[in-house]
Each structure stands twice: as structure tokens, then as C-alpha cells.
Amino acid sequence: MENLDVKHKYVRCFPDIFAAGTDTSAITVEWALSELINHPEIMKKAREEIDSVVGKSRLVEESDIANLPYLQAIVKETLRLHPTGPMIVRESTENCTINGYDIPARTRLFVNTWAIGRDPNHWENPLEFHPERFVVEDGKSQLDVRGQHFHLLPFGSGRRSCPGTSLALNVVQATLSAMIQCFDWKLSGGVVTADMEEGPGLTLPRAHPLICVPVTRLNPLPLL
């Protein structure tokens, strides 16, 4: 019976691994591309950065990301406005008092990361998509998304922060940079602006799928 319970435990983990490891990254890329379509000047600036660092003779690689601070800033700004984990669930282990509130032990707590990322007390023009807020004067990307700054918590913080943070950032940044480098993106049906309505769900999906047409800028196959 004990072995069976262990087996069931691992079976239950598989859907969590696949859902958390694929759905969230795909949604983040979709939100980022939506914002770039709605802000062509930001798309142009990101493409110019990629062209200056990578060139047009090869496909952008994960090793290039460290030299693409503006692309990193775009991903951070996407995670600020559209965190794939809009609510973080925690449970208090002991009685404590925070800001005058008495919280008993074993209390279920919900941290609204979506609201934190849009809080005007911490962000200037919080509803504006502005990646430059994450870039300092020397051009380097600032503010970490790994839970070191409590007004930016897309992956949570502390010992129970998302274990897949590094993988997620690598996947999202590498995928988005290749999509920017190789294609121009046009909305289908003559639509000019992407709809940014949010849908219900634990991972903050779009209310309506992003349907767009890739226009080849660089052919990625010869580059491979």
C-alpha cells in the first residue's frame, strides 16, 4: 500500500510539471508578443538590439540573452503586468503580526502579485507597458524577478518560490528573441491593435487567443 501511495503521488506530480512548465511559459510569450504588436516602437528597438548583438547571419541563442538587456526588460515588464501566477498561495506556520494584523498559525494566505505589479505606490504609470523602467543609464537590466524585490514577484519569493524560474526565463527569452529576430508580426483580419482582455484561470490566460500572421524577415532554417 505504501508503494502504491508513492506511485500515485508521482503520477499526480506529472500534470503539475507539464502544466507549470509549458502553459505558463507559452502564456508569457503570448502576452509579450501582444504587447510588442501594440507597441511597434518597442518591437523595433528590441529588433535593433538583437541585430546589433547577434547580426543577421545566425539565429539568436540562449547564450546571447545576457547581452540583450532590453529584451530582458521586455520580459520583466510582461511579467509585471501579466504574471502567469497572479495569486500566490501560502500558509502561515505560526502566529504572527504583520502591519497590525494578527495572523493565526495555519492561516491560508493569498498574495495578489497581479495587484502588486500594478501598484502606483511602487510603479510610475503602472498600467503603461514601458520596458525602459527596468533599464538603468548604463544600458544594463535592473531589478530581479527572483523574489529579491517584493514589488515584483512573478515567481514568488523565499524557499517556496517557483523552482522552474531559470528554465522559464531561458525558454521565454530565447523563444521571444527568435520570434522578434525572424519575423514581423501582423494581426489577422486587418485588426490593428491586439485585444488585451484577460481571461479566467489560475495562470492568467488571454480572454481571446492571439491570432497573427508571421511575415518572414530572416529565414531561420538556413541560419540553423
| Domain containing residue 124: CATH number | 1.10.630.10
Domain count, the chain: 1
**What is the per-residue pLDDT for 6?**
43
**What is the per-residue pLDDT for 18?**
56
Distance of CA 31 to the CA centre of its chain: 8
pLDDT string in tens for the chain (224-residue length): 445 444 444 445 545 555 556 788 999 999 999 999 999 999 999 999 999 999 988 999 999 999 999 999 999 999 999 998 899 988 999 999 988 999 999 999 899 999 999 999 999 999 999 999 999 776 566 788 888 888 999 998 888 888 888 899 999 999 999 999 999 999 988 888 999 999 988 889 999 999 999 999 887 666 55
130 and 77 Cβ atoms separated by less than 8 Å: yes
**What is the per-residue pLDDT for 136?**
79
Residue range of the domain that includes 74: 2-223
**What is the per-residue pLDDT for 158?**
84
Rounded Cα–Cα distance for residues 78 and 72 (Å): 10
**What is the per-residue pLDDT for 194?**
94
How far, CA to CA in Å, does 71 sit from each of 36, 43, 175, 205, 221?
11, 10, 11, 22, 23
